[in-house]
Amino acid sequence: MTDIQSSNTIKAKEAGAHSTRKAPKGKGKNPFVVSISSGKGGVGKTLTTVNLAIAARRMGKSPIILDGDLGLSNVDVVLGLQARYNISDVLNGHVSMKEIIIDGPMGIRLIPSGSGISSLAQLSYVQRQYILDEIESLDAQTDLLLIDTGAGIVPNVLHLNAAADKIVVVTTPEPHAMTDAYALIKVLAEEYDRKQFSLLVNLVRLPEEGIKVATRIADVAKKFLGAEVDYLGHVPMDPQMQQSIMRRKAASEFSTFTIAGQAWNDAARKLFSRSETERSGDRNFWEHLLVDADSDGLFERNI
């Protein structure tokens, strides 16, 4: 498809698209959406996302990962994959949403963002509706959407978290990581009225260390924010996992039986066994992200 044809594809949507148009609903049941986030980088957020997806697959679920680490997408690298297309190619009309999905190891599927998803803040209303139309058919194939967000409290990270059914915050015992994890929880609680979080403590030396970190963050969040922080568990330091990463085999049969892999399996059982009963509503994640974002001032109506 040429660039002119791509442009015409988007423009053709403008004729009937306006603020009165309702966002399309998924053909199947909306997937349960879990965001995996952190206050700072380097805490193992992406590895956590990948390993939760592997565990979910073993539990009989049909997970898909959205690489939402805007501008620094690396889920494909961790999985040893190379993305040919990303969301920007969908916006340009070059391919459909189904065509950008990558089938990865262990039955994991990935929606790569590349640099394209970073332009979500500049999308026009018509472009957002176009994306919704493309995504509509994905819901029928997926019952679990895991979002590997960026780190910190920038708007894109906050909005991805706010649109999710469940928020998992990953931290380590390192003081700066703990402080930044609490800062993320604080902003989401105060500005987005999110009061339920799950906390995973990575790279711990002893189980007691993870419990201490989680208790400290949970107590402060409860006292000052009125927020509940559930302890999802800890992941120990594991040299075998580091070797798997270096070999780009972080998602493999071997990795699931490492000490760290078993810890992620335990966390997944806690997280997903009750997910359906904890759904925040019957809202469609994509509708929230791409349409309701207008009320948060993230998008401009640049038709």
Give the pLDDT confidence score for residue 73 in this predicted structure: 67
Query: Is it the case that residue 49 has pLDDT exceeding 80?
Result: yes
Q: Token pair 């207008």 is at which residue?
A: 294
- The side-by-side arrangement of strands in the sheet containing 196-204 is 102-103, 109-111, 63-68, 144-151, 32-38, 166-171, 196-204, 228-236
Q: Token pair 């594991």 is at which residue?
A: 238
Among 3.40.50.300, 3.40.1710.10, 3.20.20.140, 3.20.20.80, name the CATH number for the domain at 25-294: 3.40.50.300
Residue 26: band (very low, low, confident or very high) from pLDDT cuts 50, 70, 90: very low
Q: Give pLDDT tens digits for 213-264.
A: 999 999 999 999 999 999 999 999 988 777 676 666 666 666 778 899 999 9
Give the pLDDT confidence score for residue 118 in this predicted structure: 55
Domain locations along the chain: 25-294
Query: Is it the case that residue 23 has pLDDT exceeding 50?
Result: no
Please name which of 116, 114, 125, 117 lies closest in space to residue 156, comparing C-alpha atoms.
117
What separation, in Å, do the N-terminal and C-terminal C-alpha atoms of the chain show?
A: 22
CA angle 274, 45, 284 (to 5 degrees): 50
Q: Give pLDDT tens digits for 164-203.
A: 999 999 999 999 999 999 999 999 999 999 999 999 999 9
Give the pLDDT confidence score for residue 160 in this predicted structure: 86
Q: Is 193 exposed, middle or buried (0-12, 13-18, 19+ CB in 10 A)?
A: exposed
Please name which of 147, 208, 210 lies closest in space to residue 181, comparing C-alpha atoms.
210
Q: What is the mean pLDDT of residues 86-112?
A: 86
Give the pLDDT confidence score for residue 247 in this predicted structure: 63
